[in-house]
Chains A and B, each alone.
Chain A
């Protein structure tokens, strides 16, 4: 009468099929729920995503057209772009898959449930690998379609190009995705106690290597041309024929040129290696999953914190102007931020790379006497910092209030108005993002040698963008809270998070458009060799209006969020 081990013999992949059907069912239910409960929001997000997708297509089309116009070296340059494009994406995919795979295979929830069942471990690894690959690669695939269409628009490609391109793209994704799973397994096996600390050391090590490399070529190459040549020589390893990114880039180039046999050859090389790597990974990791899972649980030991005074002092310095009650909430947030390595390491790495770029700006072949070039570079700097800020606030600031829903029973009992809570989150986000972005912009404008008035404009507008983005993310985070969810990535990936990301991007685009037009207007009006040393009163007024727009956007979003948040029942 009790469970019989020979009840129903299963075929080798039965568990994998069952898990995939379970996933399909979950996806179906989620889509159905989304369409039933928030159909208009879903349509709006899809429409805006299509807009971004179209913009991406236009951008890629223009880049390829520009490169294709270069005499003689156009074809070679295109191939180089592909090689470096796939090389960088391979690294990003491997790391994002590693993070996903670690949580999927060695986390507590589903993995813990499956491991107590009589399931074939290899089947679980196979499904988790596939799932991680799809989750981490969807944006990559979204990028692939406009790239394919842009290539097709620029070249007279045959019908089979589309099949070859798709094959190369899909085949390429498999290898870094599998490498990511292997990386997660290594961490769980050899460093189960401190996976985040290990990731932090790897990240810091990588940044240190890049800094040392930049330092070395900066010292050894005085002229800008020599510096650039030396940098490209050092990066030549990305073109190694042993790398999958090179195979894919070569295969796509062959497909564009109509060399079907050559393209197929590279496709088979990619596919062969991908299949072998997957087979090896699934079997090795599957055979050791139970043991590695058990080891990975050792990492969740409670660590004694003895350095609480550091965050206490930091909080008093940064938020000393606030009442003590609000300072305590800030202290809680500062400690959460400081002890969550996934948050601050991403920010630190990004900030480090931006600082490195800013510090080396004087190496670029920019004609200091050319006002248009100086204006262009400072404009691009501000745009880059703003776009990075937009992704950062969407990923980390937007979920702040949703994460508080776990503790709102406590915070609601405190003698603090809910609106104040919004304000506290806004100030916290503004302090962190404002401090880091202003440092980067300060270094960048100093290295460019801009006149003081333009330094002021850049710094002010950067601060304005920070205000707008933090206001948007906090306000929309309160307007579209995801209650009960503990994973910030999932909160950010929801419908509200998508709306926030799109709104942030649109906001940055509008501000940058205004900034670009105004700067061009001032430079043209001055007609001097360098950036004009003064800005006209009307120019100041218009810059002031842009700043006013930033504040208005922040205030509006906070107002919308506050209204919803005040009525929210937990």
Chain B
């Protein structure tokens, strides 16, 4: 059985395969335009970081990708399945971890993960092995059999992430994954994200922590006032800004003002393979 991190059992994958396609997606909440005509393509084997100020439209985009929200215009396709017409098939490939993960208070972490496992139709044996691996990796054995209502935020994040990974999703969508976690766990999660990508999976994450985006992401998108204002690899973003500037400088420069494009037009590049 191939585990995250078990590179000896990697299966080959096609790095050009499109896993997520957002095509001209817009979303409006009353008078506020949360996302405006956003087009993005995420491919197999990449970690994609979504940056932007508060209220920029990051979470709305993630929610539309995961099927929580419907688009007003445009389309979302996950693994060749339209989120509008074939939502169940698309969702079979997705795992979503929100910024405030939901766990049933009166279930233990193990029971919750078991519930998610069964929902995705993962056989008991395979799920058990995977849970044992994830519990060890995320250091959850000390609290996995306690009721979720007793968990700290970090514990909840770990259990939610383990539940998300139990069915080996092709697309992991995570909203602010590192908030409230200790440095050791942050390191483990960063490693897990890279391993998922190296095995052909895709990680679509939003974050405010620019260092994490710099360290983990293959490509970075910056969104402001619902509009995509920059997209590319870290090197491409550096190239578009002043020489020697850091991601923080680029981010602040791009998001300062009215959200108009202040850098080079977004560029769409295939990611580096695994």
A residues whose Cβ falls under 8 Å from a Cβ of B: 1-5, 7-10, 15, 18, 22, 25-27, 29-30, 33, 108-110, 112-113, 115-120, 193, 290-291, 293-295, 297-298, 301, 484
> Which of A10, A15, A112, A290 is within 8 Å of B102, CB to CB?
A112
In the assembled complex, which residues on chain A have CB atoms less than 8 Å from the CB atom of B119? 15, 18, 117-119
Whether B102 pairs with A117 at a CB distance below 8 angstroms is: no
Which of B89-97, B214-222, B232-240 lies on the face that meets chain A? B89-97
| Inter-chain contact B199/A1, CB cutoff 8 Å | yes
Sampled A-B contacts (14; CB under 8 Å):
A1-B200, A2-B200, A3-B92, A5-B89, A7-B121, A25-B111, A29-B107, A115-B68, A116-B66, A116-B96, A117-B91, A297-B68, A301-B29, A301-B32
Once the chains bind, are B104 and A2 in contact (CB under 8 Å)?
A: no
Whether the Cβ atoms of A2 and B93 lie closer than 8 Å is yes
Among candidates A25, A30, A193, A290, residue contacting B30 with C-beta atoms closer than 8 Å:
A193
Known A-B contacts A33-B147, A116-B67, A193-B30; the reply to A5 vs B102 at CB < 8 A is no
The answer to whether A2 and B201 have CB atoms under 8 Å apart is yes
How far, in angstroms, from A10 to B120 measured CA to CA in the complex?
Answer: 10
Whether A290 lies near B147 (C-beta < 8 A) is no
Residues of chain A contacted by B2 (CB below 8 angstroms): 1
Q: Which of B82-116 contact A (CB under 8 A)?
A: 87-89, 91-96, 98, 102, 104-108, 111, 115-116
B147 A25 Cβ-Cβ under 8 A: no
Judged by a CB distance under 8 angstroms, whether B70 is at the interface is: yes
Stretch at the interface among B162-170, B241-249, B254-262, B264-272: B162-170
Q: Give min CB distance, B54 to chain A, whole Å.
A: 12
From B30, B121, B169, residue with most partner A Cβ within 10 Å: B121
Interchain CA distance A117-B95 in the complex, whole Å: 8
Chain B residue with minimal CB distance to A193? B30
Q: A26–B104 contact, CB under 8 A?
A: yes
Determine if A118 and B91 form an interchain contact, defined as CB atoms under 8 angstroms apart.
yes
Q: Say yes or no: is B123 at the interface (Cβ < 8 Å to chain A).
A: yes
- CB pair A298–B120 under 8 Å, yes or no, is no
Q: Top 9 A-B pairs ranked by shortest CB distance?
A: A8-B121, A26-B106, A294-B70, A5-B92, A118-B91, A116-B96, A118-B92, A2-B170, A29-B106
Additional pairs, 20, CB under 8 Å, beyond known A25-B106, A295-B70: A7-B122, A22-B111, A25-B111, A29-B106, A30-B106, A110-B104, A112-B98, A116-B68, A116-B96, A117-B120, A118-B92, A118-B119, A118-B120, A119-B88, A119-B119, A193-B30, A294-B69, A294-B70, A297-B68, A298-B29
Known interface pairs A2-B201, A3-B168, A3-B170. Does A294 touch B107 (Cβ–Cβ under 8 Å)?
A: no
For the complex, what is the distance from the CA of A103 to the CA of B237, rounded to whole Å? 44
Residue of B66, B87, B119, B147 ringed by the most chain A CB atoms within 10 A:
B119
Q: Does B14 contact A (CB under 8 A)?
A: no
Q: Are B92 and A113 in contact (CB under 8 A)?
A: no
* B83 CB → nearest A CB, Å: 9
State A22–B102 Cα separation when bound (angstroms).
15
Chain B 204-231 against A: per-residue CB contact (8 Å), 1 yes, 0 no? 0000000000000000000000000000
> Would you give the shortest CB distance from B16 to chain A, in whole angstroms?
17
Q: Which residue of B lies closest to A484 (CB)?
A: B149
CA distance A18 to B115 in the complex (A): 7
Minimum C-beta distance from A529 to chain B (A): 63
Interface residues on B, range: 35 or more
Residues of the A chain whose Cβ atoms lie less than 8 Å from the Cβ of B121: 7-10
Contacts of B102 on A, CB cut-off 8 Å?
A: 108-110, 112-113
Which chain A residues lie closer than 8 Å to B120 at the CB level?
A: 3, 7, 117-118
CB distance from A160 to the nearest CB of B (A): 39
Interface centre among A15, A118, A297 (most CB of B within 10 A): A118
**Residue of chain A at shortest CB distance from B116:** A117
For the complex, give the distance between the alpha carbons of A298 and B66 in Å: 17
Contact A118 B88 (CB under 8 A): yes
Say whether, besides A118-B91, A297-B69, A33 and B168 are in contact (CB < 8 Å): no
Q: How far is the CB of B265 from chain A (nearest CB, A)?
A: 31
Q: Cβ of A25 and Cβ of B107 under 8 Å apart? A: yes
Complex Cα distance, B107 from A26, in Å, reads 6
Among candidates B66, B87, B104, B149, residue contacting A22 with C-beta atoms closer than 8 Å: B104
A121 to chain B, nearest CB (A): 9
> In the complex, what residues of B have CB within 8 A of residue A2's CB?
93, 168-170, 200-201
CB contact under 8 A between A33 and B115, given known A7-B122, A294-B69: no
B129 at the interface (CB under 8 A from A): no
Docked complex Cα distance between A5 and B167 (Å): 11
Contacts of B170 in A (CB 8 A): 2-3
Residues from chain B with Cβ under 8 Å of A297 in the complex = 29, 68-69
CB neighbours of A1 from chain B (8 A) = 2, 9, 11, 168, 199-200
**CB within 8 A of A3: which of B88, B93, B200?**
B93
Q: Is the CB of A116 within 8 A of B94?
A: yes
Indicate if the CB atoms of B118 and A18 lie closer than 8 Å: yes
Report chain B residues within 8 Å CB of A117.
91, 116, 119-120
Residues of A within 8 A of B32 (CB): 301
Contacts of B118 in A (CB 8 A): 18
Chain A residues within 8 Å of B104, by CB: 22, 26, 110
Q: Could you say which of A2, A7, A25 has the most chain B C-beta atoms within 10 Å of its C-beta? A: A2
A109 to B, closest residue via Cβ: B102
B149 partner residues in chain A, CB cutoff 8 A: 484
Nearest-Cβ distance from residue B107 to partner chain A, whole angstroms: 6
Which residues on A sit within 8 Å (CB–CB) of B9? 1
Q: Which residue of B lies closest to A119 (CB)?
A: B119
Q: Cβ of B30 and Cβ of A115 under 8 Å apart?
A: no
Chain B residues whose CB sits within 8 angstroms of the CB of A112 once the complex forms: 68, 98, 102
Give the distance in Å from the alpha carbon of A439 to the alpha carbon of B30 in the complex: 41
Interface centre among B104, B105, B106, B108 (most CB of A within 10 A): B106
Given A1-B168, A2-B201, A3-B120, check contact A115 B106 (CB 8 Å).
Answer: no
B108 to chain A, nearest CB (A): 8
Q: How far is the CB of A64 from chain B (nearest CB, A)?
A: 40
B73 to chain A, nearest CB (A): 14
Which partner residue on chain B sits nearest A120 by CB separation? Answer: B88
Task: Return B199 CB to nearest CB of chain A, in Å.
Answer: 7
Closest chain-A Cβ to B93's Cβ sits at a distance in Å of: 5
CB neighbours (8 Å) of A25 from chain B are 106-107, 111
CB distance from A103 to the nearest CB of B (A): 14
CB neighbours (8 Å) of A30 from chain B are 106
CB distance from A125 to the nearest CB of B (A): 15
List residues of B (6-28) whose CB comes within 8 Å of A's CBs: 9, 11
Q: How far is the CB of B92 from chain A (nearest CB, A)?
A: 4
In the complex, which of the residues B11, B68, B111, B167 contacts A294, with contact meaning CB atoms closer than 8 Å?
A: B68
CB-CB < 8 A to A110: which residues of B? 102, 104
- B167-204 residues with Cβ-Cβ distance < 8 A to A are 167-170, 199-201
Which positions 28-74 of chain B face chain A at CB distance < 8 Å?
A: 29-30, 32, 66-70
Residue of A nearest to B101 (CB): A113
**Which chain A residues border B147 with CB–CB below 8 Å?**
29, 33
Closest to A293 in B: B68
Instruction: Kindly report which residue of chain B lies nearest to residue A295, judged by CB atoms.
Output: B70
